[in-house]
């Protein structure tokens, strides 16, 4: 008697991940819709994965273990080999280090049932930070509303949601178009998803989470996923190669210019933007290699795609294209936080440009033009300054730090003479404010020195475990205030001190904008008794009274 056809086949791809594979499979066994086939597709693991996979298959008749004869080095081959033997009319994919939420199969299968003509259904992706446990939704604006989309031309912004694992595909759709994962390349999801979007006549979106994606952004480079290996120039080359394959596919399919522009914008806003945030941390050789790889591709992109970027991102892209790599490093710090350039220049017509010279080319003048930012006329609370720490030294106290701060005011918003400034940091609900003076050193540049005594920072009664980054606040003569990021040297010796039942560490942030970073860790009784008790009772109806008692005991 032939085996009954399951409703859905879920393929779990795995390579040397014996530890997390059982968790991924358990998330499938816990599905509210249980009529599924589970294929564990092993890319020729060399650890205990085969043993673990065989044990899982022996314990559940729904599981089939498939082992590739040799390692393919990617995700495509194990998915494709599983597709060859999958029996269900609907297909899903899961990576061994992730999970499916309990209702994922039920929700996506129901979406196909409600709209039988759709070629695939997709839902929200829940991102879980491995280091902090914090959760967020991947591209939430794209999946906030349930709907049926009649082809990607109707919503080209969906190119940003390029995960293949957030979708349930009709097997007939994939077979009709011969759609399989491209083998021998990285970022195969981007090409596969772009093709699926373009080939589908209709697809359904559900707002509920259907995939749980575990993110380890600061894992050791040797253990990092392909997406987290941006430090390798080969990673840049791989990303560009897959974009070129998508371009070829769109050109062959005679898709609209608007769709191609949307795809170009996605590359600039997502792919290039990921590298842009890392530029301050790259050495000269890497930057030259990066520019050599990416610049030829940038020249092929639609001008409309550049125009859709925020001005700060357009500046970084253009500085890379112009080979102004030191300037690109400077411009990349504080992206997305309204950090001003150190200096601007102006032409005869009054147009204002990023940097100390007017660009030579028409493209440069268009992309580096900051006139629209109105640096000289913005309301003071939204004015753009640039605050940088010139030096960081240990202060005289057990947990104090002496900072030499420089503020750049390219819009010349600050009046002539000394300025009232403050450092702000809040390890709890109460804020530590340290006032100091910034003195003018030349037009548009001010400097000052401030002693930040972290021993005086007010901490919650239950202690504090976390990271904070000091902000710099300026006060205008009329009382208006402007608060902005404080950029630190990218590399300086960290130091640690113990004060008030806490271990306090001052260090460079080491990622993103590169701010001054202060880390608190509770120790002693605060960590083992006071903190846990206060947090537990703080959630009870009589928590307020107990918190008062805890403060009295301390």
Give the tokens for residue 293.
């790889």
My answer on whether 45 and 80 are in the same domain is yes
Task: Give the 3-state DSSP-derived string for 126-164, with helices as H, strands as E and coil as C.
Answer: EEEECCCCCEEEECHHHHCCCEEECCHHHCHHHHHCCCC
537 falls within a domain: no
My answer on whether 435 and 328 are in the same domain is no
150 falls within a domain: yes
165 falls within a domain: yes
My answer on whether 454 and 391 are in the same domain is yes
Distance CA 231, CA 76 (A): 23
For 48, left (φ over 0), alpha (ψ -120 to 50), or beta? alpha
At 404, which CATH number?
Answer: 2.60.40
My answer on whether 404 and 334 are in the same domain is no
Q: Dump pLDDT digits (tens) for 78-125.
A: 999 999 999 999 999 999 999 999 999 999 999 999 999 999 999 999
Nearest to 305 by CA among 350, 346, 259, 373: 259
Q: Dump pLDDT digits (tens) for 501-510.
A: 999 999 999 8
547 falls within a domain: no
My answer on whether 304 and 401 are in the same domain is no
My answer on whether 95 and 213 are in the same domain is yes
Q: Dump pLDDT digits (tens) for 285-330.
A: 999 999 999 999 999 999 999 999 999 999 999 999 999 999 999 9
**Going by C-beta distance under 8 Å and a sequence separation of 6 or more, which residues neighbour residue 189?**
75, 162, 163, 164, 165
Per-residue pLDDT averaged across 210-222, rounded?
75
302 falls within a domain: yes
Give the tokens for residue 500.
């008030």
* Distance linking the first and last C-alpha atoms of the chain: 74
Query: Which H helix or E strand runs over 25?
Result: helix 21-29
In the chain, the number of structural domains is 3
545 falls within a domain: no
Report pLDDT for 512: 83
| Contact predicate 339/384, CB 8 Å | yes
Distance CA 454, CA 444 (A): 30
Asked if the model's pLDDT at residue 540 lies above 80, the reply is no
Q: Dump pLDDT digits (tens) for 11-44.
A: 999 999 999 999 999 999 999 999 999 999 999 9
Chosen domain end from 373, 408, 429: 373
My answer on whether 100 and 199 are in the same domain is yes
Asked if the model's pLDDT at residue 279 lies above 80, the reply is yes
Chosen domain end from 344, 373, 402: 373
My answer on whether 123 and 53 are in the same domain is yes
Nearest to 400 by CA among 447, 449, 446, 357: 449
My answer on whether 422 and 513 are in the same domain is yes
Q: Dump pLDDT digits (tens) for 366-422.
A: 999 999 999 999 999 999 999 999 999 999 988 999 999 999 999 999 999 999 999
Q: Which residue has the higher pLDDT, 334 or 56?
A: 56
540 falls within a domain: no
2 falls within a domain: no
Asked if the model's pLDDT at residue 218 lies above 70, the reply is no
Q: What percent of the chain has pLDDT over 90?
A: 87
My answer on whether 426 and 479 are in the same domain is yes
Question: What residue numbers bound the domain in which 58 lies?
Answer: 8-223
Alpha helices in 62-209 (DSSP H): 76-85, 104-114, 140-143, 171-176, 188-199
My answer on whether 157 and 234 are in the same domain is no
Chosen domain end from 202, 223, 244: 223
Asked if the model's pLDDT at residue 221 lies above 50, the reply is no
My answer on whether 289 and 389 are in the same domain is no
At 31, which CATH number?
Answer: 3.90.550.10
Report pLDDT for 395: 94
Instruction: Confirm whether pTM is higher than 0.85.
Output: yes
Residue 342 gets which letter from DSSP?
S
Nearest to 139 by CA among 155, 154, 151: 155
């Amino acid at each position: 008697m032939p085996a009954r056809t399951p409703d859905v086949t879920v393929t779990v791809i795995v390579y040397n991940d014996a530890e997390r594979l059982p968790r991924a499979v358990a998330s499938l066994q816990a599905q509210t819709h249980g009529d599924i086939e589970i294929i564990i597709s092993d890319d020729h693991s060399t650890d205990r994965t085969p043993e673990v996979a065989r044990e899982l298959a022996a314990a559940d008749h729904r599981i089939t273990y498939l082992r590739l004869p040799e390692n393919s080095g990617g995700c495509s081959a194990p998915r494709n080999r599983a597709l060859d033997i999958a029996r269900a009319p609907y297909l899903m994919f899961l990576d061994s280090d992730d999970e499916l939420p309990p209702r994922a199969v039920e929700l996506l299968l129901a979406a196909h049932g409600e709209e039988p003509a759709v070629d695939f259904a997709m839902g929200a992706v829940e991102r879980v930070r491995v280091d902090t446990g914090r959760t967020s939704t991947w591209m939430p604006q794209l999946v906030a509303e349930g709907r049926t989309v009649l082809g990607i031309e109707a919503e080209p912004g969906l190119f940003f949601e390029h995960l293949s694992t957030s979708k349930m595909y009709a097997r007939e759709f994939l077979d009709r178009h011969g759609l399989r994962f491209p083998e021998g390349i990285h970022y195969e999801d981007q090409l596969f998803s772009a093709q699926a979007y373009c080939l589908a006549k209709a697809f359904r979106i559900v707002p509920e989470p259907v995939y749980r994606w575990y993110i380890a952004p600061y894992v050791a480079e040797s253990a990092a996923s392909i997406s987290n290996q941006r430090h390798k120039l080969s990673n840049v080359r791989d990303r560009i190669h897959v974009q070129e394959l998508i371009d070829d596919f769109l050109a062959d399919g005679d898709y609209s210019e608007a769709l191609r522009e949307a795809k170009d914008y996605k590359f600039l806003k997502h792919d290039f933007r990921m590298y842009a945030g890392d530029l301050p941390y790259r050495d000269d050789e890497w930057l030259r290699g990066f520019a050599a790889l990416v610049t030829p591709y940038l020249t092929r992109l639609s001008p409309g795609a550049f125009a859709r970027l925020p001005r700060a991102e357009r500046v970084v892209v253009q500085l890379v294209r112009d080979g102004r790599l030191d300037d690109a490093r400077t411009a990349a710090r504080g992206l997305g936080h309204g950090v001003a350039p150190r200096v601007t220049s102006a032409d005869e017509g009054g147009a204002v440009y990023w940097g100390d010279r007017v660009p030579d080319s028409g493209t440069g003048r268009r992309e580096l033009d900051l006139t629209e930012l109105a640096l000289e006329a913005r309301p003071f609370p939204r004015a753009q300054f640039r605050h940088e720490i010139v030096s960081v030294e240990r202060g005289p106290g057990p947990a104090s730090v002496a900072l030499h701060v420089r503020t750049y005011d390219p819009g010349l918003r600050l009046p002539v003479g000394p300025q009232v400034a403050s450092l702000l940091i809040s390890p709890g609900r109460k804020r530590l404010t340290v006032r100091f003076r910034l003195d003018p050193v030349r037009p548009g540049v001010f400097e000052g020195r401030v002693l930040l005594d972290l021993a005086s920072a007010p901490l919650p009664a239950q202690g504090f475990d976390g990271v904070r980054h000091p902000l710099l606040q300026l006060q205008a003569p009329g009382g208006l205030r402007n608060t902005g990021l404080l950029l630190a040297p990218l590399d300086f010796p960290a130091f640690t001190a113990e004060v008030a039942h806490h271990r306090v560490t001052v260090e460079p942030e080491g990622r993103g904008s590169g701010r001054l970073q202060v880390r608190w860790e509770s120790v002693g009784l605060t960590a083992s008794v006071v903190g846990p008790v206060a947090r537990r009772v703080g959630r009870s109806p009589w928590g307020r009274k107990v918190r008062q008692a805890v403060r009295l005991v301390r």
